[in-house]
Amino acid sequence: MNKKVIITGSGQDSTYMTEHLVETTNHDIVIAARANSRTDYSNIDKFLKNDRVKLVTFDLNDGNGIRNLIKNEEPDYFINLAAATFVKDSWENPVLHMQVNAISLIHMLEAIKDYCPKCKFYSAGSSEEWGNIDYSPQDENHPYKPRSMYGVSKVAADFTCKVYRESYGIFALHGILLNHESKLRSLCFVTRKITSEVARIKNEFDCGAGVIKKIKPLKIGNILSKRDWSHSKDFMRGVWLMMNMDKPKKYVLSSDETHSVKEFIEICFEKIGISLQWWLPTENRYLNNEELEKLSEKDLVNIQAVDKAMNVLVEIDPQFFRPAEVSLLHGDSSLARKELGWRPEYSFEDLVNEMMENDLKSYE
Protein backbone atom coordinates (compact mmCIF):
# COMPACT_ATOMS: atom_id res chain seq x y z
CA MET A 1 0.00 0.00 0.00
CA ASN A 2 1.09 3.57 -0.65
CA LYS A 3 2.03 5.63 2.36
CA LYS A 4 -0.24 8.52 3.21
CA VAL A 5 0.74 12.15 3.87
CA ILE A 6 -1.51 14.79 5.37
CA ILE A 7 -0.45 18.34 4.48
CA THR A 8 -2.32 21.14 6.21
CA GLY A 9 -2.94 24.48 4.53
CA SER A 10 -3.47 25.75 0.99
CA GLY A 11 -0.86 28.52 0.81
CA GLN A 12 2.54 28.62 -0.83
CA ASP A 13 4.21 26.03 1.42
CA SER A 14 1.41 23.50 1.16
CA THR A 15 1.28 23.97 -2.61
CA TYR A 16 5.01 23.42 -3.11
CA MET A 17 5.10 20.50 -0.68
CA THR A 18 2.25 18.83 -2.58
CA GLU A 19 4.03 19.48 -5.87
CA HIS A 20 7.25 17.97 -4.54
CA LEU A 21 5.53 14.82 -3.27
CA VAL A 22 3.50 14.35 -6.45
CA GLU A 23 6.68 14.57 -8.52
CA THR A 24 9.05 12.52 -6.34
CA THR A 25 6.96 9.93 -4.46
CA ASN A 26 4.10 7.47 -4.90
CA HIS A 27 2.44 8.51 -1.64
CA ASP A 28 -1.25 9.33 -1.28
CA ILE A 29 -1.68 12.97 -0.31
CA VAL A 30 -4.47 14.53 1.74
CA ILE A 31 -4.53 18.33 1.61
CA ALA A 32 -6.31 19.56 4.74
CA ALA A 33 -7.26 23.17 4.07
CA ARG A 34 -8.66 25.35 6.79
CA ALA A 35 -12.43 25.57 6.52
CA ASN A 36 -12.43 29.12 7.89
CA SER A 37 -9.69 30.24 5.53
CA ARG A 38 -10.06 31.56 1.98
CA THR A 39 -12.28 29.56 -0.33
CA ASP A 40 -9.96 30.08 -3.31
CA TYR A 41 -8.06 26.84 -3.77
CA SER A 42 -6.61 27.83 -7.14
CA ASN A 43 -3.07 27.03 -5.92
CA ILE A 44 -3.92 23.37 -5.50
CA ASP A 45 -6.65 22.83 -8.12
CA LYS A 46 -4.22 21.26 -10.59
CA PHE A 47 -3.23 18.57 -8.06
CA LEU A 48 -6.82 17.52 -7.37
CA LYS A 49 -6.99 15.92 -10.83
CA ASN A 50 -4.45 13.37 -9.58
CA ASP A 51 -6.00 10.21 -8.13
CA ARG A 52 -3.44 10.24 -5.32
CA VAL A 53 -4.49 13.67 -4.07
CA LYS A 54 -7.66 14.68 -2.27
CA LEU A 55 -8.86 17.81 -0.50
CA VAL A 56 -10.57 17.89 2.88
CA THR A 57 -11.44 20.90 5.03
CA PHE A 58 -10.87 21.35 8.73
CA ASP A 59 -10.55 24.05 11.36
CA LEU A 60 -7.40 24.49 13.43
CA ASN A 61 -9.59 25.65 16.31
CA ASP A 62 -11.67 22.45 16.20
CA GLY A 63 -9.96 19.83 18.34
CA ASN A 64 -12.53 17.13 17.59
CA GLY A 65 -12.26 17.81 13.87
CA ILE A 66 -8.48 17.45 14.01
CA ARG A 67 -8.75 14.20 15.95
CA ASN A 68 -11.32 12.79 13.52
CA LEU A 69 -9.15 13.73 10.52
CA ILE A 70 -6.18 11.81 11.92
CA LYS A 71 -8.31 8.92 13.16
CA ASN A 72 -10.00 8.48 9.77
CA GLU A 73 -6.93 8.90 7.58
CA GLU A 74 -4.28 7.22 9.78
CA PRO A 75 -1.40 9.03 8.03
CA ASP A 76 2.22 7.95 7.89
CA TYR A 77 3.28 11.60 7.74
CA PHE A 78 1.57 14.71 9.05
CA ILE A 79 3.11 17.97 7.79
CA ASN A 80 1.56 20.95 9.53
CA LEU A 81 2.00 24.00 7.32
CA ALA A 82 -1.28 25.75 8.17
CA ALA A 83 -0.92 28.62 10.63
CA ALA A 84 -1.68 32.22 11.44
CA THR A 85 1.47 33.62 9.85
CA PHE A 86 1.05 37.40 9.58
CA VAL A 87 3.39 38.59 12.35
CA LYS A 88 2.01 42.14 12.67
CA ASP A 89 -1.51 40.78 13.19
CA SER A 90 -0.38 38.80 16.23
CA TRP A 91 -0.41 41.94 18.39
CA GLU A 92 -4.05 42.52 17.48
CA ASN A 93 -5.12 38.86 17.73
CA PRO A 94 -2.77 37.21 20.25
CA VAL A 95 -5.25 34.59 21.46
CA LEU A 96 -6.02 33.50 17.91
CA HIS A 97 -2.32 33.02 17.18
CA MET A 98 -1.86 30.87 20.28
CA GLN A 99 -4.92 28.76 19.46
CA VAL A 100 -4.07 28.25 15.79
CA ASN A 101 -0.28 27.89 16.07
CA ALA A 102 0.13 26.17 19.43
CA ILE A 103 -3.04 24.69 20.95
CA SER A 104 -3.91 22.96 17.67
CA LEU A 105 -0.63 21.01 17.89
CA ILE A 106 -1.76 19.43 21.14
CA HIS A 107 -4.85 18.06 19.40
CA MET A 108 -2.73 16.81 16.48
CA LEU A 109 -0.17 15.08 18.66
CA GLU A 110 -2.78 13.62 21.01
CA ALA A 111 -4.54 12.09 18.01
CA ILE A 112 -1.28 10.76 16.59
CA LYS A 113 -0.46 9.24 19.98
CA ASP A 114 -3.86 7.56 20.17
CA TYR A 115 -4.45 6.44 16.56
CA CYS A 116 -1.18 6.26 14.61
CA PRO A 117 1.84 6.57 16.93
CA LYS A 118 4.30 5.69 14.16
CA CYS A 119 3.21 8.74 12.13
CA LYS A 120 5.98 11.30 11.57
CA PHE A 121 4.91 14.82 12.51
CA TYR A 122 6.37 18.10 11.28
CA SER A 123 5.76 21.52 12.83
CA ALA A 124 6.90 24.57 10.84
CA GLY A 125 9.02 26.81 13.03
CA SER A 126 10.05 30.40 12.41
CA SER A 127 13.07 32.63 12.90
CA GLU A 128 10.69 34.98 14.75
CA GLU A 129 11.20 32.61 17.69
CA TRP A 130 14.70 34.05 18.09
CA GLY A 131 13.49 37.65 18.40
CA ASN A 132 16.20 39.74 20.03
CA ILE A 133 19.21 37.98 18.60
CA ASP A 134 22.34 37.26 20.66
CA TYR A 135 24.62 36.48 17.74
CA SER A 136 24.59 36.31 13.97
CA PRO A 137 24.18 34.21 11.94
CA GLN A 138 21.65 32.27 14.02
CA ASP A 139 21.87 28.48 14.20
CA GLU A 140 19.96 25.66 15.90
CA ASN A 141 21.39 26.60 19.31
CA HIS A 142 20.29 30.22 19.36
CA PRO A 143 18.07 30.92 22.41
CA TYR A 144 14.42 31.82 22.04
CA LYS A 145 13.68 35.51 22.75
CA PRO A 146 10.49 36.24 20.76
CA ARG A 147 9.21 39.81 20.33
CA SER A 148 5.72 39.02 19.03
CA MET A 149 2.88 36.71 20.00
CA TYR A 150 3.46 34.97 16.68
CA GLY A 151 6.99 34.18 17.85
CA VAL A 152 5.68 33.07 21.25
CA SER A 153 3.15 30.73 19.60
CA LYS A 154 5.89 29.09 17.54
CA VAL A 155 8.12 28.64 20.61
CA ALA A 156 5.18 26.93 22.32
CA ALA A 157 4.82 24.64 19.28
CA ASP A 158 8.47 23.61 19.55
CA PHE A 159 8.20 22.74 23.23
CA THR A 160 4.95 20.86 22.61
CA CYS A 161 6.77 18.70 20.06
CA LYS A 162 9.57 18.15 22.58
CA VAL A 163 7.17 16.95 25.28
CA TYR A 164 5.43 14.44 22.98
CA ARG A 165 8.73 13.28 21.56
CA GLU A 166 10.25 12.65 25.00
CA SER A 167 7.09 11.37 26.68
CA TYR A 168 5.71 9.06 24.00
CA GLY A 169 8.52 8.48 21.53
CA ILE A 170 6.61 10.21 18.71
CA PHE A 171 8.59 11.47 15.71
CA ALA A 172 7.67 15.11 16.38
CA LEU A 173 9.94 17.56 14.59
CA HIS A 174 9.98 21.36 14.75
CA GLY A 175 12.27 22.89 12.13
CA ILE A 176 13.28 26.54 11.94
CA LEU A 177 12.47 28.15 8.60
CA LEU A 178 13.85 31.60 7.83
CA ASN A 179 11.77 33.95 5.66
CA HIS A 180 10.63 32.24 2.49
CA GLU A 181 8.58 33.70 -0.34
CA SER A 182 7.28 32.98 -3.83
CA LYS A 183 4.85 34.23 -6.45
CA LEU A 184 2.14 32.44 -4.42
CA ARG A 185 2.75 34.59 -1.34
CA SER A 186 -0.26 36.48 0.00
CA LEU A 187 -0.41 40.22 -0.74
CA CYS A 188 -0.39 41.04 2.98
CA PHE A 189 3.29 40.03 3.24
CA VAL A 190 5.84 42.73 2.61
CA THR A 191 7.69 41.04 -0.28
CA ARG A 192 4.56 40.35 -2.33
CA LYS A 193 3.21 43.79 -1.42
CA ILE A 194 6.37 45.33 -2.86
CA THR A 195 6.37 43.33 -6.11
CA SER A 196 2.67 43.87 -6.74
CA GLU A 197 2.89 47.60 -6.02
CA VAL A 198 5.97 48.08 -8.21
CA ALA A 199 4.14 46.28 -11.03
CA ARG A 200 1.17 48.59 -10.47
CA ILE A 201 3.46 51.66 -10.59
CA LYS A 202 4.95 50.48 -13.89
CA ASN A 203 1.46 50.13 -15.29
CA GLU A 204 0.63 53.68 -14.17
CA PHE A 205 3.72 54.96 -15.98
CA ASP A 206 2.80 52.96 -19.08
CA CYS A 207 -0.64 54.57 -18.99
CA GLY A 208 0.83 58.09 -18.84
CA ALA A 209 0.93 58.79 -15.12
CA GLY A 210 3.92 60.78 -13.94
CA VAL A 211 3.24 63.26 -16.71
CA ILE A 212 -0.48 63.92 -16.50
CA LYS A 213 -1.08 62.92 -12.89
CA LYS A 214 0.74 62.01 -9.68
CA ILE A 215 1.90 58.43 -9.25
CA LYS A 216 0.39 56.66 -6.26
CA PRO A 217 3.46 55.64 -4.20
CA LEU A 218 4.24 52.36 -2.49
CA LYS A 219 3.67 52.86 1.24
CA ILE A 220 5.95 50.76 3.43
CA GLY A 221 7.20 50.41 7.01
CA ASN A 222 10.76 49.96 8.27
CA ILE A 223 12.92 49.74 5.15
CA LEU A 224 16.05 49.05 7.21
CA SER A 225 14.89 45.68 8.58
CA LYS A 226 17.09 42.88 7.27
CA ARG A 227 15.90 39.37 6.52
CA ASP A 228 17.24 36.09 5.18
CA TRP A 229 14.94 35.38 2.20
CA SER A 230 14.62 32.08 0.31
CA HIS A 231 12.17 30.39 -2.04
CA SER A 232 9.40 28.33 -0.47
CA LYS A 233 10.02 25.56 -2.98
CA ASP A 234 13.59 25.09 -1.68
CA PHE A 235 12.38 24.88 1.91
CA MET A 236 9.74 22.26 1.18
CA ARG A 237 12.43 20.01 -0.29
CA GLY A 238 14.37 20.50 2.93
CA VAL A 239 11.38 19.70 5.13
CA TRP A 240 10.83 16.42 3.29
CA LEU A 241 14.47 15.50 3.83
CA MET A 242 14.01 16.13 7.56
CA MET A 243 10.88 13.98 7.63
CA ASN A 244 12.73 11.01 6.19
CA MET A 245 15.49 10.84 8.77
CA ASP A 246 15.50 7.90 11.17
CA LYS A 247 15.22 10.21 14.19
CA PRO A 248 13.77 13.73 14.50
CA LYS A 249 16.33 16.51 14.65
CA LYS A 250 15.98 20.26 14.45
CA TYR A 251 17.51 22.04 11.47
CA VAL A 252 17.65 25.64 10.32
CA LEU A 253 16.84 26.26 6.65
CA SER A 254 18.08 29.56 5.24
CA SER A 255 19.90 31.20 2.36
CA ASP A 256 22.64 32.32 4.79
CA GLU A 257 22.40 35.84 3.30
CA THR A 258 20.67 39.00 4.49
CA HIS A 259 19.01 41.72 2.46
CA SER A 260 17.17 44.79 3.72
CA VAL A 261 13.62 45.72 2.77
CA LYS A 262 15.19 48.79 1.14
CA GLU A 263 17.37 46.56 -1.06
CA PHE A 264 14.37 44.43 -2.01
CA ILE A 265 12.48 47.58 -3.08
CA GLU A 266 15.42 48.95 -5.07
CA ILE A 267 15.92 45.69 -6.98
CA CYS A 268 12.22 45.55 -7.88
CA PHE A 269 12.31 49.08 -9.28
CA GLU A 270 15.47 48.27 -11.20
CA LYS A 271 13.53 45.45 -12.87
CA ILE A 272 11.19 48.07 -14.38
CA GLY A 273 14.04 50.40 -15.35
CA ILE A 274 13.83 52.87 -12.46
CA SER A 275 16.79 53.82 -10.27
CA LEU A 276 15.55 55.11 -6.92
CA GLN A 277 17.13 57.86 -4.85
CA TRP A 278 16.24 58.45 -1.23
CA TRP A 279 15.09 62.01 -0.58
CA LEU A 280 14.71 64.04 2.62
CA PRO A 281 12.12 66.74 1.78
CA THR A 282 12.57 68.65 5.05
CA GLU A 283 16.21 69.36 4.11
CA ASN A 284 15.74 69.29 0.33
CA ARG A 285 18.55 66.78 -0.24
CA TYR A 286 19.35 63.18 -1.12
CA LEU A 287 20.59 60.68 1.47
CA ASN A 288 23.29 58.08 0.85
CA ASN A 289 23.17 54.55 2.28
CA GLU A 290 25.41 55.40 5.22
CA GLU A 291 23.13 58.25 6.27
CA LEU A 292 20.03 56.09 5.89
CA GLU A 293 21.44 53.31 8.05
CA LYS A 294 21.81 55.75 10.96
CA LEU A 295 18.17 56.85 10.97
CA SER A 296 15.74 55.82 13.69
CA GLU A 297 12.18 54.73 12.94
CA LYS A 298 11.03 58.21 13.99
CA ASP A 299 13.34 59.81 11.43
CA LEU A 300 12.48 57.29 8.69
CA VAL A 301 8.93 58.61 8.34
CA ASN A 302 10.31 61.74 6.66
CA ILE A 303 12.06 59.78 3.90
CA GLN A 304 10.82 59.31 0.35
CA ALA A 305 12.18 57.46 -2.68
CA VAL A 306 12.06 59.35 -5.96
CA ASP A 307 12.99 58.76 -9.59
CA LYS A 308 15.09 61.15 -11.71
CA ALA A 309 11.97 63.19 -12.53
CA MET A 310 11.27 63.57 -8.78
CA ASN A 311 8.15 61.42 -8.86
CA VAL A 312 7.63 60.16 -5.29
CA LEU A 313 7.44 56.37 -5.67
CA VAL A 314 7.96 55.17 -2.07
CA GLU A 315 6.76 56.69 1.21
CA ILE A 316 7.44 55.50 4.75
CA ASP A 317 4.19 55.02 6.65
CA PRO A 318 4.39 54.54 10.46
CA GLN A 319 1.21 52.43 10.47
CA PHE A 320 3.31 49.60 9.04
CA PHE A 321 5.88 49.66 11.85
CA ARG A 322 5.68 46.79 14.32
CA PRO A 323 5.20 47.51 18.05
CA ALA A 324 8.44 45.58 18.68
CA GLU A 325 10.74 45.23 15.69
CA VAL A 326 13.18 42.43 14.95
CA SER A 327 15.81 44.31 12.98
CA LEU A 328 17.97 41.42 11.77
CA LEU A 329 17.44 37.73 11.01
CA HIS A 330 20.32 35.82 9.41
CA GLY A 331 20.30 32.03 9.33
CA ASP A 332 23.11 29.51 9.48
CA SER A 333 21.97 26.39 7.61
CA SER A 334 25.37 24.69 7.60
CA LEU A 335 24.10 21.71 9.64
CA ALA A 336 21.27 21.02 7.18
CA ARG A 337 23.64 21.35 4.24
CA LYS A 338 26.10 18.94 5.83
CA GLU A 339 23.76 16.29 7.26
CA LEU A 340 20.77 16.46 4.91
CA GLY A 341 22.69 17.29 1.75
CA TRP A 342 20.25 20.18 1.25
CA ARG A 343 21.11 23.19 -0.89
CA PRO A 344 18.89 26.04 -2.07
CA GLU A 345 18.40 26.11 -5.83
CA TYR A 346 17.01 29.67 -6.00
CA SER A 347 19.17 32.74 -5.35
CA PHE A 348 17.78 35.96 -3.90
CA GLU A 349 17.82 37.47 -7.39
CA ASP A 350 15.98 34.42 -8.80
CA LEU A 351 13.29 34.83 -6.16
CA VAL A 352 12.76 38.55 -6.80
CA ASN A 353 12.73 37.99 -10.57
CA GLU A 354 10.07 35.29 -10.33
CA MET A 355 7.85 37.39 -8.09
CA MET A 356 8.21 40.51 -10.24
CA GLU A 357 7.56 38.65 -13.49
CA ASN A 358 4.43 37.11 -12.02
CA ASP A 359 2.98 40.45 -10.90
CA LEU A 360 3.94 42.23 -14.12
CA LYS A 361 2.02 39.58 -16.11
CA SER A 362 -1.20 40.63 -14.39
CA TYR A 363 -1.08 43.89 -16.40
CA GLU A 364 -0.41 42.31 -19.80
Please give the mean pLDDT across all residues of the chain: 92
Task: Output the pLDDT for position 88.
Answer: 66
Confidence at residue 324, expressed as pLDDT on a 0 to 100 scale: 66
Global confidence as pTM: 0.93
Q: Given 3-state DSSP classes, what are the helix, strand and coil percentages for the chain, each rounded to the nearest 5?
A: 40, 20, 40
Beta partners for 180? 230
Specify the pLDDT at position 323.
73
- Return the closest-CA partner of residue 266 out of 200, 198, 203, 322: 198
Q: Tens of pLDDT along 51-103?
A: 999 999 988 989 999 999 999 999 999 999 987 765 666 677 788 888 989 99
pLDDT at residue number 165: 98
190-247 confidence digits (pLDDT tens): 999 999 999 999 999 998 776 656 889 999 999 999 999 999 999 999 999 999 999 9
Average pLDDT over residues 173-184: 96
Q: Could you give all domains of the chain from N- to C-terminal order, each with its CATH number?
A: 4-177 (3.40.50.720), 190-225+260-326 (3.90.25.10)
What is the predicted pLDDT for the residue at 83? Answer: 78
What average pLDDT does range 308-331 have in this prediction? 87
The contacts of residue 27 (CB under 8 Å, 6+ apart) are 2, 3, 4, 5, 21, 52, 76, 77
Alpha helices in the chain (DSSP H): 12-24, 63-73, 94-98, 104-115, 149-168, 190-206, 232-243, 261-271, 289-293, 297-300, 334-339, 348-361
Give me the mean pLDDT over the 251-260 stretch.
Answer: 98
Mean pLDDT of 333-337: 98
- Confidence (pLDDT) at 212: 57
- Span 264-281, mean pLDDT? 96
Q: Give the other-Cβ count within 10 Å of 235's Cβ.
A: 26
Q: Work out the percent of the chain whose per-residue pLDDT is above 70.
A: 95
Alpha carbon separation from 111 to 24, 73, 75, 324, 333 (Å, rounded): 28, 11, 11, 36, 32
Does residue 297 register a pLDDT over 90? no
User: What are the pLDDT digits (tens) for 114-134?
Assistant: 999 999 999 999 999 999 899
Stretch 139-143: mean pLDDT: 97
Percent of the chain at pLDDT exceeding 90: 77
Q: What is the pLDDT of residue 267?
A: 97
For residue 350, is pLDDT > 70?
yes
Q: Please give the torsion angle defined by the CA atoms of residues 316, 259, 98 and 171, in that order, rounded to the nearest 10 degrees.
A: 170
- 105 near 161, Cβ under 8 Å? yes
